[in-house]
Amino acid sequence: MTTAAVLGMGSWGTAFAAVLVDAGCQVRLFGGDPVLASAVTDRHENPVAHPGVALPPALVATTDLAHALAGADLVVLAVPAQELRRALTAWSPLLPRDAVLVSLIKGVELGTTLRMSEVITEVAAVPDSSVVVVSGPNLAGEVLAHQPAATVVASVSAATAQRVQAACHTWYFRPYTNTDVVGTELGGAVKNVIALAVGMAAGLGFGENTQASLLTRGLAEIARLGAALGADPATFAGLAGLGDLVATCSSPLSRNRTFGVNLGRGMSVAEAGQALHQTAEGVKSAPAILALADAHGVDMPITAQVVRVLRDGVAPAQVVGRLMGREAKPEQAAGR
């Protein structure tokens, strides 16, 4: 039996832990809140992330990191992107030597512009063949409700990806392997920024034409950045690209879309954050993604305008005008 430690009791960490249990793994969920850990273990509920939703009885939670990691074959990292380096630095001394490190995190690190797998290999001092990235259209609430979903399990090592694929494959959750870690991570990180833009448009009262246009041109931005960083173009047409983008830009369950909607309705960035009560990864990663694009000479106009709203306080209605007023170009060259 595969033993897994899931570090982080947030929404997706809890849901993925439940998937692992349903797939036959022994799972220990780790977090710093003893009341929450007790609720998961004794009441089979995470009242903060998923109130009223039943978790598998076999799922146990703990605040004891050493206990959570003891004998773990898989160590699943489920913390906010900008907290990963600090957390993993503290956790690294206790990581089992041969464990596979699995990232559920969708973001780019501020300051370094590193992807999450790059942060993991640097901080934990492990080869990239020991790291797996999970990314796809996986809204946590729907996964916990056992609504059929698929995902991508990516690693530079096909064998390592297959180990994680087997560990999380259930009747309702279907993982596909991929060796394009760069494309998989970029799709997961940048789609959050595009969802913020789509949410702003919805909050401003614009309809499906506007939102579909932003989604589609957002996919072009993701693909351009991916091409500059050596990703496989096919990745962006799959689950970790288009699939995740559609789910995140379209669903009211999406934290980034919801954050954007609130901005479009007139809330400030601080007010939108308070209303959400959860992490919207695109908010903090957007400047890092734009810096990464600038470093590689990639034009990302939607991302740039989202950053103007988040960092400079520009009104969402103004950035829509800026986007529509850009020079007209052929579709294949737009944004270059």
In the residue annotation, 284 being an active-site residue is answered as no
Residue 334 reports pLDDT greater than 50? no
Residue 138 reports pLDDT greater than 90? yes
Are the C-beta atoms of 133 and 160 separated by less than 8 Å? no
The tokens describing 233, both together, are 């173009």
Q: What domains can be seen in the chain, in order of their start residue?
A: 3-179 (3.40.50.720), 183-333 (1.10.1040.10)
Residue 68 reports pLDDT greater than 70? yes
Query: Which pLDDT does position 271 carry in this prediction?
Result: 94
Query: Which pLDDT does position 34 carry in this prediction?
Result: 97
Q: Where are the alpha helices (DSSP H) in 82-207?
A: 84-91, 116-124, 140-144, 158-167, 181-203
CA distance 115 to 101: 14
Query: What residue type is 214 in one-letter code?
Result: L
Instruction: Name the DSSP letter for residue 70.
Output: T
Chain centroid to Cα 293, Å, comes to 19
Q: pLDDT above 70 covers what percent of the chain?
A: 96
Residue 79 reports pLDDT greater than 50? yes
CA distance 130 to 155: 8
Q: What is the pLDDT of residues 229-250, one digit of tens each?
A: 999 999 999 999 999 999 999 9
Query: Which pLDDT does position 327 carry in this prediction?
Result: 63
119-123: average pLDDT: 98
Angle of the 255-264 helix axis to the 281-295 helix axis, nearest 10:
90
Report the helix count and the strand count for the chain, using DSSP H and E.
15, 8
Query: Which pLDDT does position 321 carry in this prediction?
Result: 73
Residue 280 reports pLDDT greater than 90? no
Question: Across the chain, where does the E strand assignment appear?
Answer: 3-7, 26-30, 60-62, 74-77, 100-103, 131-135, 149-154, 173-178
- Place 199 in a pLDDT band, splitting at 50, 70 and 90: very high
Query: Which pLDDT does position 335 carry in this prediction?
Result: 46
Query: Which pLDDT does position 322 carry in this prediction?
Result: 78
- Place 326 in a pLDDT band, splitting at 50, 70 and 90: low
Query: Which pLDDT does position 328 carry in this prediction?
Result: 62
Query: Which pLDDT does position 304 carry in this prediction?
Result: 96
256-277: average pLDDT: 93
Q: What is the pLDDT of residues 22-66, one digit of tens each?
A: 999 999 999 999 999 999 999 999 999 999 999 999 999 999 999
Are the C-beta atoms of 98 and 29 separated by less than 8 Å? no
Residue 324 reports pLDDT greater than 80? no
CA distance 109 to 51: 30
166-178: average pLDDT: 98
Higher pLDDT, 279 or 246: 246
Residue 279 reports pLDDT greater than 50? yes
